[in-house]
Amino acid sequence: MLYRALLPMIEVRDVSRWYRRGVDVVHALDHVSLHIPAGRFVALMGPSGSGKSTLLHLLAGLDRPDSGEVIVAGEPLSQLDDDALADWRASHVGLVFQFFNLLPVLNAMENVELPLLLGGLPRGERRRRAEAALGAVGLLHRRQHRPNELSGGEQQRVAIARAIVTDPDLLVADEPTGDLDAKSATAVLALLRELNRAFDKTIVMVTHDPRAEAFVDRVIRLDKGVLVDSGEAA
Amino acid sequence: MTWTGFVVRNLLRHPLRTALTTLSVALSIFLVCAVLTLPAALNALFERTASSTRISVHHEAGLSYWLPLSYVQRVKAIPGVAAVNQFTWFGGIYDEPRNMFPNFAVDPETVAEVWPDYRIDPGALERFRRIRNGALVGEETFRRFGWRLGQEVTLRGTIFPVNLTLQIVGVIPASGNPVMLWFHRTYLEEAMEPYGGLRLVGMLWLRADRPEAVDGILRQVDAMFRNAEAQVTAETEQAFFASFLSSFRELVRLVLAVGVLVVGAVVLIAANTAAMGVRERIPEIAILKSLGFRRRPILVALLAESTLIGLVGGILGAGGAYGILTALALAGKTGAGGFLGPLSGFRMSPQVALQGVAISVIVGFVAGAIPARNGARLNVVEALRRLF
Amino acid sequence: MGVPLRYNLRNILVRARTSAFSAGGIALVVAATMLLAALVGGLQRMLVAAGEPRNLIVMRKGATNDGSSQLPREAAQILRAMPGVASTPEGTPLASAQLVNQPFIRVPGGGRENVLVRGVEPIAFRVHDRVQLVEGRIFRPNLGEIVVGRGAARRYGLRVGSIADFGRRQWTVVGVFDSGGTAFDSEIWADVGDVQGDTRRQGYSAVRLRVAAGIDPSDMIRRIDRDGRFTLEAKPETVYYQQQAETANALYVLVLTLAVVMATGATFGALNTMYAAVSSRTAEIGTLRALGFGRGAILLSFLTESLLLAGGGLLAGLVLALGAMVAVNTLLRGVAFSMMTFSVATVLLEPTPIGVLLGVGFAAAIGVAGGLGPAWRAANLRVIEALHRA
């Protein structure tokens, strides 16, 4: 346990990323370095345009840096091409977004099963795992319902179930409570905390929500693409 | 939940839009099938005259020019000629000019030898030979007027100053010729005695004893009458019909062009719908890609949607056209009669229906191709950035 | 207060591809309708217009057209002398005995077809005064000279001075005539004696005569009918051509059906576009309503947008149709088809009032039908909900 805790799950080495928006060139990340050990629940915070979402995308293998290196669970992501990244994501990362998480034509159960379709598991096995994941978020009884029949908080919890169904190394959440009311937001944060504690899941969460600080182990702050606080306290 | 289930569910998300698009595809394919029936009917006519051994001999100047009767005997002597018959257009009217059908004076003795492929019942042929004023009628004409065997009908002459009363003694199957009426040449000759008799004939039909003999016969006929009183053109039955129908082809081409316009309109409508659908689903596509789904499955799913609309629309449209046209044909309403002559009776064949469905599936595929490709090629991070 | 037109125009332009597709569908409907209407209009013009109001056509009883009728020489003489027949100022009876023949003729570019050769006397040009010589002169008898209608000239590549090959001999073109787009334009007129010689016939097909002023045509028709010497029947030319045109009328029904079906399909397409426009502009609509634009203004605005699209489609369709007509007329030299007489006539495609009316009508109908439902939905959006979706 101790050994695992000391092993860096995520290593970001001198990473820079820029992109074009209309006629401007935006430097989203400017020579950022940090590392996050396994099993931590980390919040990425900062004002709008600070680069926190960009950093999150890099950690999740959705994007590649323009310079520097991102290594997750020992895998140097910048060496992988698009298809290899897609495959890597399917088995190593769980994703939760602020909205549009769930496919409206599928019910909760089917949405949770989606990532398992990529793994080529037999139907029975898929169903078992999906049910386990839904159970872990406390929504097994709502598994036949479609997203338009679920509340905002319930939808996010189903998204979280989908994120953990493949038993990924890393769970990545981009503003998961951004669209929720206070009560649901707290419930979601608590759930993430629970998953982190009970299953030792490494979670990196981008958030604006000040409430989140109470639930996480560490807060990393960015501003204008630069790391201002790596949050490494004790 | 299966793959097709997923595709169908996405289509049912906007039931109104899917229904509207499917219906417009269906309507257009309905039209396309109706339009395709015309050339198909023409082709069917050619197929019917597939006899490779029948030769027509007519006056070089045109079908309204007579040939001397003596020509009949003379061509019998040409080697390779198995049998000879003749047509003389009588042009008689049964009830109304509008309902006119082709009627000819022929030689009853050699009908079976020159037109064996018509498969006329031997009993009917025997009665035809025996009964002086007997007549053989094409199946459709027979049914159209509700005639019975043994019934007497009168044809009022237009070109000839005589009216002829004939007895229906047999039917020519539709696969042979559905509309013609044949009676005895001698019966007409007798009726024309008071007016100076008839020693002319319209055209000749020869049957070669084998296909290889045809070329030789054509040359010999040509040579035989080259310097005669009436010059002739001898050609195979196929060539004869081909030139006869050549003027229809231009009209058919125009109608087909209209059909192309219709298909073009459908592609535009379907492409529009597909593009709309993909645009709305950018967030979902982004999620799927972020989860690890690759381009190809997404492309296939999107393409399947538009192709499915094409398929369903096509089945509805082609099925509808088939049903309606067949019903109309049975009710006898689609004889556009004199105007289209040999094409009377728009019956839509199953092949045309299949063609319609095929076109519609291709349309669905083509219309959805570019939106599907764009959707599959979506850059995840840009999409996410724009969304959030 | 209404929503400014500029809003609608900009929106159409911003959603360029969708608008183009929708307008394109309408354009094709308009174009197809106009082309088909032009075809049928040409047919009607050709058949119906050929009839002179005071002309009678006399044929053998029961004949459907003058190509398949027989009329003896003596009958023609009697008809010429009949009281009630109009005369020229010089005293010649306006009675034209004609022999119609349909020989084969070669089409430049391949193929052979029947052409209608009308053997006539010079008086025919007075009886059919719509027929005007535009080039050259009338034929002289017994010389194998012919005059050709404009359509026939174009189709068979004949000019004044050309040699035409049909029947048993060759003929010389000495003139070209125009009959105002009627069936005669596709015919070749020759000296009746020459045609009789060529076909080895001695009589005629029919006689066309002009009824003198003040005489009742039906009186004349009755007299001819009752004449026991021959089995003839007379009818006014207008009635004769009307009967020929019956098949064209049947075609009109077909054309209309086709066009309605196409228009319905295009309507569905327009509906799709407009519904999508409404749903993607929900937030804007909420804003407009919040700003104070009433339901009626929103309804009108979306309806107008739909009509603007339809208008664009109409214009494009008109251009497309005209272009196609010009192409067909110049490249194909018109549309050829066989009439009841088994000879070939060509129709030039021209825009017809009916075609334009139908095209405009369909575009307007599609614009309204495609816009009404979505406009209604837009107008009835609940403001708060609409804004919330922003």
- Beta-carbon pairs below 8 A across chains B and C: 172
CATH of the domain at A85: 3.40.50.300
Chains sharing 3 or more CB pairs under 8 A with chain B: A, C
> For C269-276, what is the mean pLDDT?
79
* Terminal CA-CA length for chain C: 24
Instruction: For helices B282-291 and B295-330, give the axis angle rounded to 10 degrees.
Output: 130
CB-neighbour burial class of residue B77 (10 A; exposed 0-12, middle 13-18, buried 19+)? exposed
Q: Does B66 touch chain C (CB under 8 A)?
A: yes
Question: Does residue A234 fall inside a structural domain?
Answer: no
pLDDT band with cut points at 50, 70 and 90 for residue C121: very high
> For C57-83, what is the mean pLDDT?
87
Q: Which residue of chain A has the CA closest to B287?
A: A101
Asked if A89 lies within 8 A of B384 by C-beta distance, the reply is no
pLDDT band with cut points at 50, 70 and 90 for residue A234: very low
Parallel, antiparallel, or unpaired for β A75-76 and B81-89? unpaired
> For B65-71, what is the mean pLDDT?
91
* Chosen from B63, B198, B254 to mutate, greatest number of chain C CBs within 10 A: B254
Torsion A132-A138-A142-A145 (CA) sign: negative
DSSP A98: S
* Terminal CA-CA length for chain B: 30
Measured from the Cβ of residue B337, the count of other Cβ atoms closer than 10 Å reads: 18
pLDDT band with cut points at 50, 70 and 90 for residue B48: low
Give Cα C278 distance to the centre of its chain.
42
| ipTM of predicted assembly, 2 dp | 0.82
Q: Does C212 touch chain B (CB under 8 A)?
A: no
> For C115-138, what is the mean pLDDT?
93
Query: What is residue A141's predicted lDDT score, i.e. its pLDDT?
Result: 94
List the structure tokens of A217.
């182990």
pLDDT band with cut points at 50, 70 and 90 for residue B340: very low
* Chosen from C272, C274, C340 to mutate, greatest number of chain B CBs within 10 A: C272
Query: What is residue A135's predicted lDDT score, i.e. its pLDDT?
Result: 93
> For C301-330, what is the mean pLDDT?
90
Query: What is residue B339's predicted lDDT score, i.e. its pLDDT?
Result: 38
* pLDDT over 80 (residue B344): no
Q: Which residue has the higher pLDDT, B58 or B275?
A: B58
Please calculate the CA angle B285-B287-B292 and round it to the nearest 5 degrees: 95
Strand partners, C117: C101, C188
State phi, psi for A224 to the nearest 5 degrees.
50, 45
pLDDT band with cut points at 50, 70 and 90 for residue C286: confident
* Residue C119 near residue C98 (C-beta atoms within 8 A): yes
* Average per-residue pLDDT for chain B: 85
Query: What is residue B334's predicted lDDT score, i.e. its pLDDT?
Result: 47
Asked if B28 lies within 8 A of C262 by C-beta distance, the reply is yes
Q: Which residue has the higher pLDDT, A91 or C249?
A: A91
Query: What is residue B125's predicted lDDT score, i.e. its pLDDT?
Result: 94
Distance CA(B181)–CA(B54), nearest Å, equals 19
**Where is average pLDDT lowest: A38-42, A215-219, B129-133, B337-341?**
B337-341
Asked if B388 lies within 8 A of A101 by C-beta distance, the reply is no
Query: What is residue B149's predicted lDDT score, i.e. its pLDDT?
Result: 92
Distance CA(A163)–CA(A169), nearest Å, equals 11
Among residues B210, B163, B182, the alpha carbon closest in space to that of B111 is found at: B182
Identify the domain containing residue A51 by its residue range. 2-229
Query: What is residue A2's predicted lDDT score, i.e. its pLDDT?
Result: 53
pLDDT in tens, B362-385: 989 998 998 899 888 888 888 877
Query: What is residue B59's predicted lDDT score, i.e. its pLDDT?
Result: 92
CA dist list (Å): A128 to A121, A135, C21: 11, 10, 47
β strands within B32-141, DSSP E: 54-59, 67-68, 81-89, 103-106, 134-138
* pLDDT over 50 (residue B338): no
Torsion C44-C47-C51-C56 (CA) sign: negative
Measured from the Cβ of residue B149, the count of other Cβ atoms closer than 10 Å reads: 13
Query: What is residue C271's predicted lDDT score, i.e. its pLDDT?
Result: 81
3-state helix, strand, coil in chain C (%, to 5): 55, 20, 25
Prediction pTM value: 0.69
Q: Nearest CA of chain B to the CA of A180: how many Å? A: 15
> Over the range A71-104, which residues count as b (16 or more CB within 10 Å of their CB) and which as e?
bbbeeebbebeeeebbebbbebbbbbbbbbbbbe
Asked if B254 lies within 8 A of C39 by C-beta distance, the reply is yes
pLDDT band with cut points at 50, 70 and 90 for residue C145: very high
DSSP string, C331-361: HS-SEEEE-TTSSEEEE-----HHHHHHHHH
Query: What is residue C390's predicted lDDT score, i.e. its pLDDT?
Result: 47
Query: What is residue C273's predicted lDDT score, i.e. its pLDDT?
Result: 77
Distance CA(B78)–CA(B85), nearest Å, equals 14
Query: What is residue B248's predicted lDDT score, i.e. its pLDDT?
Result: 67
> For C169-190, what is the mean pLDDT?
91
List the structure tokens of A14.
């001198």
Q: Which residue has the higher pLDDT, A121 or B194?
A: B194
* Residue C239 near residue C20 (C-beta atoms within 8 A): no
Distance CA(B269)–CA(B80), nearest Å, equals 60
Query: What is residue A204's predicted lDDT score, i.e. its pLDDT?
Result: 94
Give Cα B221 distance to the centre of its chain.
32
Within 13 Å, how many C-alpha atoms sit on residue B52's CB side? Answer: 5
Q: Which residue has the higher pLDDT, B358 or B344?
A: B358
Torsion A145-A146-A151-A155 (CA) sign: positive
pLDDT band with cut points at 50, 70 and 90 for residue B342: very low
| Domains of chain C, residue spans | 5-48+246-388, 55-212
**Where is average pLDDT lowest: B106-120, C51-65, C210-224?**
C51-65
State phi, psi for C204 to the nearest 5 degrees.
-125, 175
Distance CA(C266)–CA(C268), nearest Å, equals 5
Distance CA(A123)–CA(B33), nearest Å, equals 44
pLDDT in tens, C85-112: 999 999 899 999 999 999 999 888 777 8
Q: What 3-state DSSP class applies to A202?
A: strand
Q: How many residues does chain C have?
A: 390
Taking the CA atoms of residue A178, residue A182, residue A183 and residue A185 in that order, the dihedral angle to the nearest 10 degrees is 20
> For A42-70, what is the mean pLDDT?
89
Q: What 3-state DSSP class applies to B78?
A: coil
**Residue written as tokens 């940090």?**
A34
List the structure tokens of B363.
């349309």
* Chosen from B295, B305, B384 to mutate, greatest number of chain A CBs within 10 A: B384
Q: Which residue has the higher pLDDT, A23 or B219?
A: B219
Determine the residue type at B4.
T
Overall domain count for chain A: 1
> For C221-230, what is the mean pLDDT?
88
Asked if B384 lies within 8 A of A97 by C-beta distance, the reply is yes
User: Which of A57, A106, A118 lies nearest to residue B292, judging by beta carbons?
Assistant: A118
> For A26-42, what is the mean pLDDT?
90
Distance CA(A65)–CA(A27), nearest Å, equals 11
Q: Does B15 touch chain A (CB under 8 A)?
A: no
> For C317-334, what is the mean pLDDT?
85
pLDDT in tens, B150-169: 999 999 887 788 899 999 99
Instruction: For helices B295-330 and B3-11, give the axis angle rounded to 10 degrees.
Output: 70
Residues above pLDDT 90, as percent of chain B: 38
Residues above pLDDT 90, as percent of chain C: 37
pLDDT in tens, C253-267: 767 777 777 777 778
**Residue written as tokens 């002309």?**
C55
Phi/psi region, residue C334 (left: phi>0; alpha: psi -120 to 50; beta: rest), is left
Distance CA(B275)–CA(B302), nearest Å, equals 10
Query: What is residue A7's predicted lDDT score, i.e. its pLDDT?
Result: 61
Instruction: For helices C16-48 and C295-331, give the axis angle rounded to 10 degrees.
Output: 50
Measured from the Cβ of residue B277, the count of other Cβ atoms closer than 10 Å reads: 25
pLDDT in tens, B225-259: 988 888 899 998 888 877 766 666 666 777 777 77
* pLDDT over 80 (residue B360): yes
| Domains of chain B, residue spans | 3-47+246-387, 61-230
Using DSSP, how many helices (H) and how many strands (E) does chain A show? Answer: 7, 10
Within 13 Å, how many C-alpha atoms sit on residue A144's CB side? Answer: 1
Query: What is residue B336's predicted lDDT score, i.e. its pLDDT?
Result: 44
